[in-house]
C-alpha cells in the first residue's frame, strides 16, 4: 500500500481540494483507496459524504489513530491511502508525515505561501520523507506564457531543491463546485481541469506504482470517469 500525505503550512492553499481529487483519481482508475481525514475541519469527509456514486472509503480521525488506520487499511487490501492534514505545524501532521511514502506540499504562488514552504520542507526533511511540491491556485497563462508572478514563484521553489510537479493546478471554480456533490473535476464537463488532475495523478502514480507502466499511462477521459 502507498500512503500519500497532503501538507500545507498556510490555510486556503487548496490542500483539501487536492486531497479529495487525488483520492478520487486513484479510485476512478480502479485502485482500492482510503481517504483519511485528519484535518479537524473535516472538509474532505464532508465532500465525499455528498457523493452519490461509489467512491473511496473514508475515515475521520486524529493523528494518534492514523497508524492503526493504516495497518487496518493494509489488512483490507487498500492500495492507496490519502491523508488530509490540518494547515500549519501540529503533532498530528508530524504523525501523518511519518506514515507517508510521499508528502505532497501544496503551495500557492504567493510570497507568504513560498515563505511557509521553506519551513514545511525543512520539517519533512527532518522526518526523512520524500516531498513533491505542487503549485495550486495558480494564475492562468496568456498565450502559453506564465505571468511574471508565477515565474518568480517557480524560481523560488526551485531553490528548495525538491521535485516540483510538472503539472500546475490553475485557479478554477470547478475544483470547488465539483466537490459540492462529492465529484472530481474529472467527472465534470471541464476538460482543462480534468486534464490537470489526470496529469498530476499520472506523475504521482509513477512514484506510487513504477512497475505498472500500463496504468501509469491511463488517463480516464470524461466519459470513462462518468461510467463509475
Instruction: Write the pLDDT tens digit of every residue in 211-227.
Output: 664 444 444 443 344 43
Instruction: Write the pLDDT tens digit of every residue in 9-19.
Output: 888 889 999 99
pLDDT at 208 over 70: yes
Instruction: Write the pLDDT tens digit of every residue in 160-194.
Output: 999 999 999 999 999 999 999 999 999 998 999 99
Instruction: Write the pLDDT tens digit of every residue in 45-57.
Output: 999 999 999 999 9
- Residue 220 pLDDT: 41
- Residue 213 pLDDT: 44
Domains of the chain: 2-226 (3.40.50.300)
- Residue 46 pLDDT: 96
pLDDT at 77 over 90: yes
Instruction: Write the pLDDT tens digit of every residue in 113-131.
Output: 999 999 999 999 999 999 9
Instruction: Let me know: does 147 contact 45? Beta carbons within 8 Å.
Output: no
- Residue 209 pLDDT: 75
Listed residue (215, 197, 196) closest to 205, CA to CA: 215
Amino acid at each position: 500500500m502507498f500512503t500519500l500525505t497532503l501538507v500545507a503550512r498556510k490555510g486556503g492553499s487548496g490542500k483539501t481540494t487536492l486531497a479529495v481529487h487525488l483520492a478520487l483519481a486513484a479510485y476512478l482508475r480502479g485502485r482500492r483507496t482510503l481517504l483519511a481525514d485528519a484535518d479537524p475541519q473535516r472538509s474532505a469527509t464532508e465532500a465525499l459524504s455528498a457523493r452519490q456514486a461509489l467512491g473511496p472509503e473514508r475515515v475521520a480521525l486524529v493523528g494518534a489513530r492514523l497508524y492503526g488506520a493504516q495497518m487496518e487499511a493494509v489488512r483490507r487490501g487498500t492500495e492507496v491511502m490519502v491523508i488530509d492534514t490540518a494547515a500549519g505545524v501540529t503533532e498530528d501532521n508530524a504523525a501523518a508525515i511519518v506514515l507517508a511514502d510521499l508528502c505532497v506540499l501544496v503551495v500557492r504562488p504567493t510570497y507568504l505561501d513560498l515563505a511557509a514552504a521553506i519551513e514545511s520542507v525543512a520539517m519533512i526533511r527532518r522526518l526523512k520523507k520524500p516531498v513533491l511540491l505542487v503549485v495550486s491556485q495558480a494564475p492562468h497563462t496568456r498565450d502559453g506564457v506564465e505571468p511574471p508572478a508565477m515565474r518568480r514563484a517557480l524560481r523560488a521553489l526551485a531553490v528548495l531543491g525538491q521535485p516540483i510537479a510538472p503539472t500546475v493546478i490553475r485557479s478554477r471554480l470547478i475544483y470547488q463546485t465539483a466537490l459540492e456533490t462529492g465529484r472530481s473535476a474529472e467527472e465534470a464537463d471541464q476538460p482543462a481541469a480534468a486534464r490537470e488532475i489526470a496529469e498530476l495523478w499520472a506523475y504521482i502514480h509513477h512514484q506510487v506504482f513504477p512497475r505498472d507502466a500500463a496504468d501509469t499511462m491511463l488517463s480516464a477521459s470524461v466519459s470513462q470517469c462518468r461510467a463509475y
